[in-house]
């Protein structure tokens, strides 16, 4: 985020100022604790044994660190009737997210490019109508989608989920690229047109190389959205084809046997790891995606 040039304004000095600075950092620090607290609890619980959880409290740190719960969450916890942990479902999520992200981003880029840089009559209307798809409550398409997937023979498959995420991700990706391309000077395109380049040549040789930032933002945003999705996963897949979010929920809400909180927490961290990793590595891009999501030009 941009830094200001107003840091140098001369301010009154004295105890009043020191007090203000002090309370500023106090409040900021307290909020850091507030946001970190669940993460700490989650991590510390996942490293405890079940016995220790029963004896200690939420905040007590693990006395004997054990990765048993992690191992169990990864490959032997029971999800429904199947007991090989989250591992197969992580692969489901990868197999779903990667193609869906690539497809929706590519199509969104072409769409945004055609709609902003080759404006034809009705382009604004088409954009507005596509954009609306980003805001509908997905409950309104669940029933017809289930039916359609059934007709296509894709019911309960990862391929079906890829289709769903691509179709409903398109509105967002088109929006992102449109917002980016609006800021790209038409002059460059006109120069390319004068040089005799056509629609696709301009796209691949000129526009695409310029759009790396937009592509990164879109890929990160789409990946986070698709990986974290639960509604489509739970509505359109069954058992073996569940994405990891659905599997996690099943692990946590299994009513049979002893409740293994440490396994739950380890499973939650495992399910969150890919998006957290993306966030830590590319946090700045993630923030740009968030603000772009605010329909700002």
Is there binding between residue 202 and another protein (CB under 8 A)? no
Residue whose tokens read 């449109």: 178
CB of 215 to another protein, least distance (A): 18
User: How many angstroms separate the CA atoms of 84 and 76, rounded?
Assistant: 4
**Nearest residue (CB) to another protein, 78 versus 252:** 252
Residue 95 C-beta-side C-alpha neighbours within 13 Å: 17
Residue among 275, 270, 277 at smallest CA distance from 42: 270
SS3 content of the chain, % helix, strand, coil (to 5): 70, 0, 30
Binding of another protein by 131 (CB under 8 A): yes
Minimum distance, C-beta of residue 224 to another protein, in the bound complex (Å): 6
Q: Which stretch binds another protein (CB under 8 A): 77-85, 94-102, 116-124, 210-218?
A: 116-124
Site for another protein in 8-27 (CB under 8 A): 8-13, 24-25, 27
Binding mask 246-265 for another protein (x = CB under 8 A): --xx--xx-------x--xx
Question: Segment 48-67, which members bind another protein (CB under 8 A)?
Answer: 53, 57-59
Return the DSSP state at 82: B
x-or-dash pattern for another protein, window 208-247, by CB under 8 A?
----------------x--xxxxx--xx---------x--
Within 152-207, residue ranges assigned H as helices are 158-182, 186-194, 199-202
């Amino acid at each position: 985020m941009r830094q200001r040039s107003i840091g140098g304004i001369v301010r009154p000095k004295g105890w009043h100022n020191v007090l203000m600075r002090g309370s500023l950092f106090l409040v900021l620090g307290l909020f850091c604790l507030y946001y970190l607290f669940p993460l700490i609890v989650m991590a510390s619980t996942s490293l405890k044994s079940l016995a220790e959880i029963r004896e200690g409290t939420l905040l007590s740190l693990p006395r004997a660190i054990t990765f048993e719960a992690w191992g169990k969450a990864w490959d032997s916890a029971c999800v429904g009737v199947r007991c090989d942990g989250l591992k197969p479902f992580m692969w489901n999520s990868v197999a779903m997210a990667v193609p869906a992200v690539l497809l929706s981003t590519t199509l969104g880029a072409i769409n945004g490019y055609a709609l902003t840089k080759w404006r034809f009559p009705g382009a604004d209307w088409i954009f507005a109508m596509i954009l609306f798809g980003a805001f509908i409550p997905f409950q309104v398409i669940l029933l017809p989608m289930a039916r359609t997937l059934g007709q296509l023979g894709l019911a309960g498959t990862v391929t079906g989920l890829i289709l769903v995420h691509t179709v409903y991700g398109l509105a967002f990706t088109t929006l992102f690229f449109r917002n980016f391309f609006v800021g790209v000077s038409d002059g460059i395109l006109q120069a390319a047109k004068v040089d005799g380049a056509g629609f696709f040549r301009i796209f691949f040789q000129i526009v695409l190389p310029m759009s790396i930032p937009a592509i990164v933002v879109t890929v990160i945003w789409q990946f986070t959205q698709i990986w974290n999705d639960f509604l489509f996963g739970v509505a359109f897949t069954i058992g073996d084809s569940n994405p990891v979010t659905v599997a996690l929920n099943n692990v946590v809400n299994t009513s049979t046997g002893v409740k293994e909180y440490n396994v739950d927490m380890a499973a939650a961290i495992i399910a969150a790891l890919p998006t957290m990793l993306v966030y830590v590595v590319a946090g700045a891009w993630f923030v740009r995606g968030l603000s772009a999501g605010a329909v700002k030009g």
